[in-house]
Structure 1
Amino acid sequence: MAERTLRGARLGGQSFEDERGIEFAARQQVGYRCEHGHEFEITMSVEADIPAIWECPRCGAKALSIAGIKPEEKAEKPARTHWDMLLERRSTQELEDILKERLELLRGGEIGPAHLHRANAKKRKVS
């Protein structure tokens, strides 16, 4: 292992790259103010889409852009209930027919909890 290491180089040491001839990306300072009055600036690329909201580094609250950029309001979809999904698959008339059929089976003792079946079986034997 000692044969493979560079002499004079140490872990976390200096970089051997030179900064000559490197052109840095254009930057801009974007200001934000949080609910608690903390003001701070973030350095961003000129080409970057500037977010309207940023987390405050001091208190963690939402901070709004000082430049007046407004956050996009998302359209909220109403919650779909079981009933809504059921109506997508069947009409009200179909549901009423199914209910009527199932109630007849339940009252006849063909479906339902076991204790109801036993009670109906005893009534049938007695008759």
Structure 2
Amino acid sequence: MADRSLRGMRIGAQSLQSEDGVVFADRAEYTYQCETCGRDTTMVFSTEAEIPETWECRHCGASAVLLVDSKPVEIDRSGEKVARTHWDMLLERRTIPELEELLEERLQYLRARRGQKVGA
């Protein structure tokens, strides 16, 4: 009876697949330098992959820039929108002298409502 018993394997301990006939993708190392702490991070990518210009620094979490020939890559930020403030939008509609004139008119109105003199 001992001859007929089944032997089992531990789940997840060993793989039944072998690496015979498997062709691994070509790989290349790329170095990123952190803008904040100055440390280098080396990443391995497939040679067919599109390499990102920035990567998160492993040490401080800031943005690290790709190094090519020991020089950081120039990142094109021309497509990014710059946030406009309310002041920027106001200056698109009015000039500084017009704004000063409107301010003075409004101050006169508020002073008149409070009963203060205009010149005071």
TM range (shorter): 0.5 to 0.7
SS of structure 1 residue aligned to 2:38: coil
Q: How does 1:86-101 map to 2 (within 5 A)?
A: none
Unpaired stretches in structure 1, ≥5 consecutive residues: 1-5, 82-127
Q: Which amino acid aligns with 2:29?
A: Q
1:37 Cα deviation from its structure 2 partner? 1.2
| Structure 2 unaligned blocks of 5 or more | 1-5, 87-120
Residue 54 in structure 1 maps to residue 64 in structure 2: no
Between Structure 1 and Structure 2, the one with more strand by share is: 2
Q: 1:7 to 1:59 in 2, by over 3 A?
A: farther
Q: Does 1:11 align with 2:11?
A: yes
Find the residue that maps to 1:63 and give its secondary structure.
Answer: strand
Q: Distance in 1 between matches of 2:80 and 2:40?
A: 30
**What is the correspondence of 1:77-92 to structure 2 with a 5 Å cutoff?**
none
Matches within 5 A, 1:1-127: 7-35=7-35, 36-67=37-68, 68-73=72-77, 74-76=79-81
When normalised by structure 2's length, the TM-score is 0.54
Q: How far did 1:7 drift?
A: 4.7
Q: In terms of Rg, which structure is larger? A: 1
Secondary structure at the counterpart of residue 59 of structure 2: coil
Indicate how the Cα distance of structure 1 residues 10 and 43 shifts in structure 2: closer, same or farther if over 3 A, else same: same
* Distance in structure 2 (CA, Å) of the matches to 1:78 and 1:54: 24
Q: Give per-residue Cα distances to partners, 1:42-82, cap 9 Å, x unaligned.
A: 00010111111000111111100111433331241776x9x
Q: Output the amino acid matched with 2:74.
A: K
SS where residue 14 of structure 2 aligns? coil
Normalized per residue, which structure has more helix? Answer: 1
Q: What is the aligned-residue identity percentage?
A: 37
Aligned partner of residue 73 in structure 2, secondary structure: coil
RMSD: 2.4
